[in-house]
Structure 1
């Protein structure tokens, strides 16, 4: 029986997810999208129809912070698979709604609490992993962090484990956005979530323990396919916190590229206290959260798409040994902002985050990834996922001893 799909969220990533499930409607049953503001969901459906996809697609109003409301909607529409691409603050309530109904749960980022930044590692253990037993008892599948990073980069590590090494010594995840949106300053996804990633401690897993640094403290130049030489900085990120559990003996680091302009603006905002998640009172007695004020005055990331040009390069440099012989591979994808906009009306960052959960949903619907337990992406077979991603628009390439080639 075809699986009905519910998308929760109505931002740039949700738009990509909606277009991609519509393009692959034959894999699913009925399609649904829910948001607190139903008009945003309706606009996404209209953009799908504008591309000529005449599929059954319904919009719903939903307060996703209310797990009962989530469960009620799942039951009412008969959703079998829930793709959560809303704010990172709703993960646990949406997950609970899925546990209560038995629907499969997919998300693209780790859960966050609004009043906490950079909790004690490993981050998944603070929230999602505590529900492992509940998920298994419910007999449902929960796949965590199945965006690009986290998500695809986790599958790259698993591919290296399965096909290149019998011992992995290091995994360096590198994320470079070489695109330009033409705005004086903007973030590529939700500004509140974006800034929260970089205001706390930078955690990496090295030498079998957690190491801490400050943001922009450790940088290095990377020479990558297509985008060339770029400076990336050691950053804290979701996937380090699950990969370190599977690859305990390996060093696991995440590197993100930043230009000088971003660093300068970020530093000024942080030094002024404008990136704080803690409320303050104005002289007029109004209570405001500085970070939310900054979010309110910055461009909506979805609005960047029409003018975005350039490419992204995201990949894993994995080093290890096979039969005692050392080696390394770089497994990566290059995406184009303009191509993404022309296809689904979103910029490349949203595209790379939105295509993977649809590939995962297809594999769940087919039964290949319907594992009836909670997993991170590296816990699942990588090749079927990566091959399907290539068909959906995110091809994987590998640089190994034989050269640069598709997987």
Structure 2
């Protein structure tokens, strides 16, 4: 019996998720998308029809309205629709509510980012231990498959690390995850996904060095790397979700995350931060209105979904991994290249949304066919990477492996 799927959220990543589910709708039963606003859901469904992306025209999406913080209502919706796979691509603030509803209904759960508490920023590591991992025992007891952090980073990069362990290394010394967007959206300043979540990441840097958590200032450590296809790009040491599970599940002395930013981005970010506009704490205006500066900035910036039509260039995301194989030093760069224009032509989205939206659909397909239906809570690196990476390639995200990467590529 084919499994019914519920997508929760109607943002830029949900847009891609629904397109890719439609392209693979022969694998699933009935498909639904739910959010606070039906209008946003229906706009995604209109896009799918416009691009003629339903593989089976008789199995179309239906849209539903839901407040995911109302857990009893969400439980009722999951039961009513006979949902057995939930793809959570709503705000990271919603994770625990949606996970709880899945545990109580027995539905498989997939998300793309760690849960966040709106009142807390850059908590002490490991972040997963503060929230999701506390419910692992209940997932095991209820035989609920919960796959955490299954976007690209986190997600695919975790699978790249698992691939390295399984096929390429006897011992891993260091992992450097690097994410660059060598593209242009034509706006003076914008973020490629939710600005609020984006900026909350940049209050402090937690990184894994010499087998321990180290805290560093934001944008303090910079290097230039000569990437395949997109060439030399500046990247900055940044804290990120995947470090918090990889440091537990992969034996490596140091695991770091580097993200690419232009000088212009850094300048604008620095000004916004120094004058307090990136604060998540409420302030009062002269008129007595209480506002959250970060939410005001979010409201002023372009919606990430609107960037897609004019985006040009490519992204490169990968893992530079160093270690030993057969007692010899070895170095690999495992990566993906994604083109903004190609993504727009296929699903009317930009590459950042595309790289985040394809992986949870592939995970859902692997749950549906039993390959990844593990009946417990896992992070991606705990699963067999081979079927995942193979199926990603068939769905628009190919993987390349560059061997013998010279260390001089770090400048």
Report the TM-score range of the alignment, normalised by the length of the smaller protein: over 0.9
Matching of residues 20-169 of structure 1 within 5 Å:
20-52=20-52, 53=54, 54=57, 55-169=59-173
User: Equivalents in 2 of 1:251, 1:164: separation in Å?
Assistant: 18
- Equivalent residue pairs, number: 402
Q: Does 1:215 align with 2:218?
A: yes
Corresponding position of 2:239? 236
Q: Distance between the aligned counterparts of 2:261 and 2:141, measured in 1? A: 43
Q: Give the root-mean-square deviation of aligned CA atoms.
A: 1.1
Q: Distance in 1 between matches of 2:401 and 2:73?
A: 44
Measured against aligned partners, the alpha-carbon deviations of 1:127-166 in whole angstroms (never above 9, x if no partner) come to: 0000001111111100000000000000000000000111
- In structure 2, the residue matched to 1:227 is 230
Structure 2, unpaired ranges of 5+: 407-411
Relative to the length of structure 1, the TM-score reads 0.97
* TM-score (ref. length: structure 2): 0.96
- Distance in 1 between residues matched to 2:403 and 2:224, nearest whole Å: 20
Distance in 1 of aligned mates of 2:405 and 2:93? 44
Q: Per the alignment, in what secondary structure is the counterpart of residue 29 of structure 1?
A: coil
1:289 aligned to 265, 271, 292, which one? 292
Whole-Å separation in 2 of the counterparts to 1:38 and 1:116? 30
* Secondary structure in 2 matching 1:5: strand
How far does residue 325 in structure 1 lie from its aligned partner after superposition? 1.4
| Residue in 1 that maps onto 2:195 | 191
Does the residue aligned with 1:26 lie in a helix, a strand or coil?
coil
Q: Deviations over 1:340-365 (max 9, x none)?
A: 01100110000000000000000000
Conservation of the 8 A alpha-carbon contact between 2:235 and 2:258: yes
Structure 1 residue 38: Cα displacement: 1.0
Q: Give me the whole-angstrom Cα distance separating, in 2, the residues matched to 1:320 and 1:248.
A: 11
Partner secondary structure for residue 170 of structure 1: strand
Q: CA deviation at 1:57?
A: 1.1
Other structure's SS at 1:80 match: strand
The match for 1:377 is 380
Corresponding residue number in structure 2 for 1:323: 326
**1:274-298 Cα deviation digits (max 9, x unpaired):** 1011111111111111100000010
1:94-136 per-residue CA deviation (whole Å, 9 max, x = no partner) reads 0000001000000001100111110010010000000001111
| Separation (CA, whole Å) in 2 of partners of 1:289 and 1:109 | 23
Q: Structure 1 residue runs of 4+, over 4 Å off?
A: none
Q: Separation in 1 of the partners of 2:266 and 2:404?
A: 36
